[in-house]
A and B are shown apart, each in its own frame.
Chain A
Amino acid sequence: MKTMQYFKNVVTLKLDAELCTGCGLCVMVCPHAVFEISNRKARIVDIDDCMECGACALNCQFGAIAVKSGVGCAAGILNGILTNSEPSCDCSDSKSICCE
């Protein structure tokens, strides 16, 4: 565990060791060192370090990783509830007309 960690036992990260080929790309893309390679397979070191960014799942071409990723942002989730859609941090890009 690292100095900064969010809640325990909430993240949706799943690793299927059967499908893993041990290529190690998940280790390379994870910003929180959640994975390590041991015995030619990826292994989750501490799942509570995961922030569900989804980089590992997106970059696993063998489909061994699944995670429900999305913006972990309270304002975004509130936006989603109020507009009845998926959470999104659309605080900026709606106003980008002035850049055109």
Chain B
Amino acid sequence: MNLPIDFQSFKPLALSLPAVSTQLNWMDYLGAIKVRWGIGRDCYTVIPGLYKVGNPNSESDVFVSANYKLSFDALRKNLDSLNAWILVIDTKGINVWCAAGKGTFGTDNLVKSIKKTSLESIVKHRTIIVPQLGAVGVAAHIVKKQSGFRVVYGPVHAKDIKAFIQAGYKATPEIREMTFPIQERAKLIPVDMMYGKYKLLIVLFVFFVLSGLDRTGFLFAKMLETSLFPLVNIIGAYLAGIVIAPLLLPLVPFRAFTFKGAFWGVVITLVLNLLFKVPLIESIAMGLINLSLASFMTMNFTGSSTYTSLSGVKKEMKWAIPFQIAFAVVGLILFIISKLV
């Protein structure tokens, strides 16, 4: 073995690479909170390339990550007390799983990054550790063929990396499984909630104005007086669909997300009708709109869920969307009628 000689020749290149800390600072945590609320989320990136953690040498492990800073931070935080390399590939600032689904965290991009960073002259071994969810975009056998590097799939979550290493670079069944517990769902809710905020404001504005309709024309005072009920209903149904239903996802036994949302839409309607005293026709109108809106919002949570399939979502949308449209239209007409009678 000519290890010492090799090691010397690796040194200059490796020395010039940027080192990263395994400790997150307050800026990192603040950044995480901001992107979770959808602020600057499209620009939360890391420059692609090879990074050093601790004092890695030519024998150290190589972990692959996406250039979404949240993914990168999750990885480096869990490499404390290790000496390792992080290969960040350009996923356009998208996390590993979503980027793998799009193909940017994929075979071609990975092979390109390996070559671009001259990984073969930096490490002597020929193994890279790829997050398990990256397998959606990475074909291990093709990476091997095209780059010479063997892909070992790590755990789903970076927090299990130490356990993975201790088990002899094997992911045990427990750390391979993607669960969807309440704390994971809670993390995803703010972004979804903020996503439709402008559309929500438009709908609120429309109902605010419509509240002033009267058979004599338009009454400004009536608008101010009676708009609270429809506005509270719409906000309630929006939150029921995108906050309550996802948080309590397994609690409602229906499998269809549209049903889970509709269920909470009904609950909100009943609660609000206990609190407000309005004409029956307006109650029914807002009830229909609540059903439609809550069901639609929860349907969109399929994009965040970790267990819904494309075929399943398509199946559910096929019959749910016509109902959602019909309920919204009938609700809107009834609401206008309730103002004119």
Contacts and interface: CB of A to CB of B under 8 A. Distances in A.
Given A53-B101, A92-B42, A74 B139 contact: no
B279 interface: no
Contact of A4 (B42, B171, B250, B315): B250
A7 B255 contact: yes
Contacts of B179: 4
A35 B41 CA distance: 35
A21 interface: no
Given A32-B178, A71-B303, A72-B302, A92 B41 contact: yes
Contacts, number: 144
Contacts of B315: 7, 10
A65 to B, nearest CB: 12
A75 B303 contact: yes
Interface string A17-40: 000000001001111110000000
B176 A10 contact: no
B300 A11 contact: no
Contact of B94 (A7, A73, A93): A93
Contacts of A69: 136, 310
Interface string A67-83: 01111111111100000
B118 interface: no
Contact of A7 (B41, B92, B250, B316): B316
Nearest to B44: A99
Contacts of B299: 74
Interface in B219-266: 249-250, 255-257
Contacts of A49: 307
B6 interface: no
B308 A68 contact: no
A52 B311 contact: yes
A32 B101 contact: no
Interface string A44-63: 00000111111100110100
A31 to B, nearest CB: 4
Pick the most buried of A32, A87, A88: most chain B CB atoms within 10 A of its CB: A32
Contacts of B100: 55
A73 B313 contact: yes
Contacts of B43: 96, 98-99
Contact of A96 (B42, B195, B250): B42
Chain A binding surface SS class: loop
B312 A92 contact: no
Contact of A52 (B98, B310, B317): B310
B153 A96 contact: no
A8 B255 CA distance: 9
A89 interface: yes
A76 B43 CA distance: 21
A58 B299 CA distance: 28
B332 to A, nearest CB: 20
Contact of A29 (B98, B153, B180, B303): B153
Given A29-B135, A95-B42, A6 B312 contact: yes
Given A4-B250, A58-B137, 11 more contacts: A5-B307, A10-B312, A31-B177, A52-B311, A53-B101, A71-B303, A72-B312, A74-B303, A78-B317, A92-B42, A93-B42
29 contacts: A5-B255, A6-B307, A6-B308, A11-B312, A12-B311, A28-B153, A28-B171, A29-B132, A29-B135, A55-B133, A58-B135, A58-B139, A59-B139, A59-B140, A61-B141, A70-B101, A72-B303, A73-B313, A75-B300, A77-B310, A77-B313, A89-B101, A89-B303, A92-B42, A93-B92, A96-B43, A96-B93, A99-B42, A99-B43
Interface of B: 41-43, 45, 92-94, 98, 100-102, 132-133, 135-141, 153, 156, 171, 173, 176-180, 195, 249-250, 255-257, 299-300, 302-303, 305-317
Q: What are the 7 closest A-B residue pairs judged by CB atoms, nearest first?
A: A73-B303, A31-B178, A29-B135, A55-B135, A61-B141, A52-B309, A70-B310
Interface of A: 3-8, 10-12, 25, 28-33, 49-55, 58-59, 61, 68-78, 87-89, 91-93, 95-96, 98-99
